[in-house]
Structure 1
Amino acid sequence: MAIFGLWIINKAGGLVYQRNFAEGLAPLTSNEYLVLAGTLHGIHAITSRISPAAGSSSGAQVIEGETFKMTIMLTATGTKFVLLTSLAETTADVILQKVYEAYSDAVMKNPFHTPEMPIRSEGFETRVTTVIGIGQS
Structure 2
Amino acid sequence: MAIFGLWVINKAGGLVYQRNFADGLAQLTSNEYLVLAGTLHGIHAITSRLSPMGSSSGAQVIEGESFKMTILLTVTGTKFVLLTSLAEVSAESTLQKVYEAFADAVMKNPFHTPEMPIRSEGFDTRITALIGSSQTS
TM-score normalized by the length of structure 2 = 0.95
1:30 paired residue number: 30
2:88 paired residue number: 89
1:80 paired residue number: 79
Residue identity in the other structure for 1:115 = P
- 1:114-125 correspondence to structure 2 within 5 Å: 114-125=113-124
Spell out, residue by residue over 1:32-55, the C-alpha distance to the aligned partner (whole angstroms, 9 max, x if none): 0000000000000000001111x3
Partner SS state of residue 81, structure 1: strand
Partner SS state of residue 40, structure 1: helix
- Give the superposition deviation at 1:26: 1.6
- 1:47-86 correspondence to structure 2 within 5 Å: 47-53=47-53, 55-86=54-85
Partner SS state of residue 72, structure 2: strand
- 1:92-107 correspondence to structure 2 within 5 Å: 92-107=91-106
Listed as ranges, the gaps of 5+ residues in structure 2 are 133-137
- Give the superposition deviation at 1:79: 0.2
Spell out, residue by residue over 1:82-128, the C-alpha distance to the aligned partner (whole angstroms, 9 max, x if none): 00000000000000000000000000000000000000000000001
CA distance in 2, matches of 1:23, 1:114: 31
- Give the superposition deviation at 1:27: 1.5
- Give the superposition deviation at 1:131: 1.1
1:129 paired residue number: 128
2:44 paired residue number: 44
CA distance in 1, matches of 2:8, 2:109: 17
Listed as ranges, the gaps of 5+ residues in structure 1 are none
Q: Which runs of 4+ in 1 moved over 4 A?
A: none
CA distance in 2, matches of 1:105, 1:63: 28
More RCO (CA 8 Å, sep 6+) = 2
Identity of aligned residues (%): 86
CA distance in 2, matches of 1:25, 1:111: 34
1:3 aligns to 2:35 (yes or no): no
